[in-house]
Structure 1
């Protein structure tokens, strides 16, 4: 039986989600009214705002009707993981759209950029409201290591978007880097899926120790990628003269991958530090 719970719309996180709905709806409506842009970046931005709007609406609906309690998933982990993912996606869209599609005399484009930035702030607040506080008992994805797993998977997706098959297929070193990105992404994705679906008991060893070991391995693998990717990508490969500012070219994608590789290395190092703290210090006390 469906029970309507109006309190889910009046608590702080409920109000924030309603505002997320409003601002993402305004954003993709303004962008759609401006017209279709060329390239995959416009599609990515529109997908981001529409996706976040639809999932946020679904979360509000399921909590309002109390159906969320009947789902065979960890609802707390799902909502926190989505809030983190939406924060990263909207942040990327809030940077990409103004850079490539906003002009000084386009009021609707500027308005869409502003509302997208406001939506990003709201999703960041959502993460702060739903993540686990010190001393609270909650799902893994509500903790800092869980949020880092979502961040690591998202950064890997950005890397995959920027990959050029014709480039990395020529060098075994770059192929190794792609293998590093893929292996670490698959593990992060499995952790997220297994946590949401409450399947962590299927791990063949204690989850915290498996997580720590894989994080250490990921740090070592990303350390090699941080060195190898720029070495093979930019050796005898200066920036082409036809790469115009404001237009992404293949060489710029190599820079993005190099930066994201270093960024993900930092995320995995932080993840490893938290994992060691949980396994060797918190568990003993």
Structure 2
């Protein structure tokens, strides 16, 4: 039986979600009114706003009708993971869209950019509101290590987007780096899926110990990638002169990958520190 819960619309997180729906709707409406583009970055921006609008609206509807409690998933983990993912997606969109599609006389595009930035702030606020507080019993994805898993998977996706087969297929070292990105990404996604679907009991060992071991391995693998990728990518490979006339040169993707590799390495180090603290300190108290 469906029961309407008006309280879900008046609590702080409910108000934030309503504003997210409004702002994302206005953002993609403004951009759509300007005209369609076949540019992949335009497609990414529109997908981000539409995706976040639809999922946030679905979350509001399911909580308002109390149907969320009947779903066979960890609802808190799902909403927190989505809020973190939406924060990262909208942040990327808020940077990409103005770089490629705005100008001093582009009123609608500027308006969409401003609303996108506000939407990013709202999703970041939602992450803060739904994140597990110290001493609070909650799902794994509501904790800092859980949010870091979403961040690590998202950064890996950015790396995959920037990869060019013709660039990394020439050197075994770069192929090793791609293998590192894939292996760590797959594990992060499996952790997210298993957590949301409440399947962590299927792990062959205690989850916290499995997580710690994999995080340590990921740190070691990413250290090698952070060293090997720049060595093979930039050795005798300076930025081409024709790139000066391009907004985003294909060579620049190598720089983005190198930066994102170091960024993800830092994320895995922080994740490992939290995992060690969880296993060897908190569990003993």
Identify whether the pair has TM-score above 0.5, normalized to the shorter chain: yes
1:181 match: 181
8 Å CA contact 1:99, 1:246 repeated in 2: no
What's the CA shift for 1:36? 2.2
1:251 match: 251
Q: In structure 1, list runs of 5 or more residues that go unmatched.
A: none
8 Å CA contact 1:132, 1:142 repeated in 2: yes
2:79 match: 79
2:9 match: 9
Rounded Cα–Cα distance in structure 2 between residues aligned with 1:246 and 1:98: 16
Which stretch has the larger CA shift, 248-257 or 275-284?
A: 248-257
What's the CA shift for 1:109? 0.5
- CA separation of 1:245 and 1:210: change in aligned 2, threshold 3 A: farther
What's the CA shift for 1:250? 1.2
2:170 match: 170
Rounded Cα–Cα distance in structure 2 between residues aligned with 1:230 and 1:245: 24
Rounded Cα–Cα distance in structure 2 between residues aligned with 1:245 and 1:3: 59
1:210 match: 210
Q: Does the residue aligned with 1:243 lie in a helix, a strand or coil?
A: helix
Q: Does the residue aligned with 2:242 lie in a helix, a strand or coil?
A: coil
2:274 match: 274
1:94 match: 94
1:102-159: CA deviation from partner (whole Å, max 9, x where unpaired): 1111000000000000000000000000000011000000000000000000000000
1:29-51: CA deviation from partner (whole Å, max 9, x where unpaired): 11111122342111111100000
Q: Does the residue aligned with 1:283 lie in a helix, a strand or coil?
A: helix
1:48 match: 48
Rounded Cα–Cα distance in structure 1 between residues aligned with 2:4 and 2:228: 56
Which stretch has the larger CA shift, 117-126 or 39-48?
A: 39-48
What's the CA shift for 1:197? 0.1
TM-score after normalising by structure 2:
0.99
Rounded Cα–Cα distance in structure 2 between residues aligned with 1:127 and 1:244: 39
Rounded Cα–Cα distance in structure 1 between residues aligned with 2:58 and 2:234: 45
Does residue 106 in structure 1 map to residue 83 in structure 2? no
8 Å CA contact 1:90, 1:119 repeated in 2: yes
8 Å CA contact 1:37, 1:101 repeated in 2: no
8 Å CA contact 1:31, 1:112 repeated in 2: yes
2:23 match: 23
1:200 match: 200
2:159 match: 159
Which stretch has the larger CA shift, 188-197 or 246-255?
A: 246-255
Does residue 63 in structure 1 map to residue 63 in structure 2? yes
Rounded Cα–Cα distance in structure 2 between residues aligned with 1:242 and 1:64: 55
Rounded Cα–Cα distance in structure 1 between residues aligned with 2:79 and 2:147: 11
2:144 match: 144
TM-score after normalising by structure 1:
0.99
Runs (4+) of structure 1 exceeding 4 A deviation are none
8 Å CA contact 1:87, 1:123 repeated in 2: yes
Q: Does the residue aligned with 2:251 lie in a helix, a strand or coil?
A: helix
Q: In structure 2, list runs of 5 or more residues that go unmatched.
A: none
What's the CA shift for 1:176? 0.2
Rounded Cα–Cα distance in structure 1 between residues aligned with 2:128 and 2:211: 24
